[in-house]
Chain A
């Protein structure tokens, strides 16, 4: 329905841009003006020959009249509406708006994202002020020195009959503490001025890592091959650099076990089936999935999405592809195979899933959960789930109905719903 709305609106917009009268266009394609009016007001479905005729009459490619706005953009706009429901945004007309005013829609989405990022940043800074041990230690040193100076100077000023020996001791103490105060103040200023940790306003460490990896296409040539890997430049924040180091260590390990040329050839030969590839290279299924997600598309590989989560379901790494992206700040839809895998450790899951969007949103997912790190009798295993995602055409076959997150999911009657949707009051 949403797609139909967009198409009608775009036909109307294109006709207006050309300065054509509705009746003239209707005659050109052999329909009545009133029928065209219904189409333009999104009250009649359109497709096939009539759509092609209208496109030809308006000298435009038919796809430009039907092409939906990016799912990610629409999701972001719905998320923006969810952030401020009182504003009364017409959520049911999101795609219509995005199609007609893509620039404005992009602006809304970007600003919404930025608000979310800034809120995350504020929360991180608040946590940092409350819990950062280095900051707490610096502040403690400053306050201790100030306390001592205040107390000693108060004694010297308020006590006229203090003997000379005590006077000397308190003068010495004040001198010592003023030095401590100066050192502690400098350390504090230096710490707060350091453009590290959360130095970037817009990115969390995880986002910083993923942005870096995305810029590389998740493929790191300097970690491929037998020779010692070159060191890549560190990221802006220390936390992100540490996370990237962990990623690189694992990437390198995978690259050694699954050399690029051999793995690339095998992947094409086996139609990118992770289970077959895992068996061929004698690696865990999760490793085979990770490796698939790093194969460059220039070598003839499809775009793969990847999501990794810990035992608590927190997404620790994600590679998004068009139409697929799990939310960072909101709880993700628990119906994704990634989370199902956590309930069945070591049990491989392959499912087709369908997002609630027209004209796309179908993905094939492979997932498995397995213990992460060395086995120990002392502590329970740390579980980690990996999910590989690939877009597939909607052939009409069965697929699990999934969403992104409950707030922007229009599905009714979902047994996993955590909160009402802003898109469907009955959901």
Chain B
């Protein structure tokens, strides 16, 4: 069984595309579309990497990241944040909150795949 990636994203077709390319690369992909219960999901089955959207129903990706870093059980999990909000202040906020990597949409599949490999290996 490959290492596990949790994709927290509410756009089903984006979830499907990311799941496809990661699965083909040997990763075990779990998905979650609800922001409010995302931290509980991470805590229950901690993945090797979280791919996190910012604009999510129930709770923003920034809040999820903050809670994730504040929880000893999940604090060290690498987080790749994917967002349509590429403004400097969003990037700075993500960095302040402890994001591992920040990537703006629309991303290329190759970029995502490369980042996942690097972040989990690192």
Q: Is the CB of B13 within 8 A of A143?
A: no
Q: Is the CB of B55 within 8 A of A176?
A: no
Q: Is the CB of A147 within 8 A of B21?
A: no
Q: Is the CB of B21 within 8 A of A148?
A: no
* Residue B119 is within 8 A (CB to CB) of chain A in the complex: no
Closest CB in chain B relative to A188 CB, distance in Å: 13
Q: How far is the CA of A426 from the CA of B20 in the complex (A)?
A: 72
Q: Mark B104-119, 1 if CB is under 8 A from A, else 0.
A: 0111110000000000
Give chain B residues whose Cβ lies under 8 Å from the Cβ of A154. 108-109
With A140-B84, A155-B20 in contact, do A173 and B13 touch (Cβ < 8 Å)? yes
Q: Is the CB of A143 within 8 A of B106?
A: yes
Q: How far is the CA of A176 from the CA of B16 in the complex (A)?
A: 13
Interface residue total, chain B, C-beta cutoff 8 A: 18
Q: How far is the CA of A147 from the CA of B112 in the complex (A)?
A: 12
* Residue A146 is within 8 A (CB to CB) of chain B in the complex: yes
Q: How far is the CA of A277 from the CA of B108 in the complex (A)?
A: 72
Q: Is the CB of A139 within 8 A of B84?
A: yes
Q: Is the CB of A148 within 8 A of B11?
A: yes
* Residue from the set B13, B87, B105, B107 with the largest chain A CB neighbour count within 10 Å: B13
* Residue B17 is within 8 A (CB to CB) of chain A in the complex: yes
Give chain B residues whose Cβ lies under 8 Å from the Cβ of A177. 13
Q: Mark B53-95, 1 if CB is under 8 A from A, else 0.
A: 0010000000000000000000000000000110100000000
Q: Is the CB of B108 within 8 A of A148?
A: no
Give chain A residues whose Cβ lies under 8 Å from the Cβ of B87. 130
* Residue B18 is within 8 A (CB to CB) of chain A in the complex: yes
Task: Enumerate chain A interface residues (CB-CB to B < 8 A).
Answer: 130, 136, 139-140, 143-144, 146-148, 150-152, 154-155, 158-159, 166, 169-170, 173, 176-177
Task: Enumerate chain B interface residues (CB-CB to A < 8 A).
Answer: 11, 13-14, 16-18, 20-21, 24, 55, 84-85, 87, 105-109
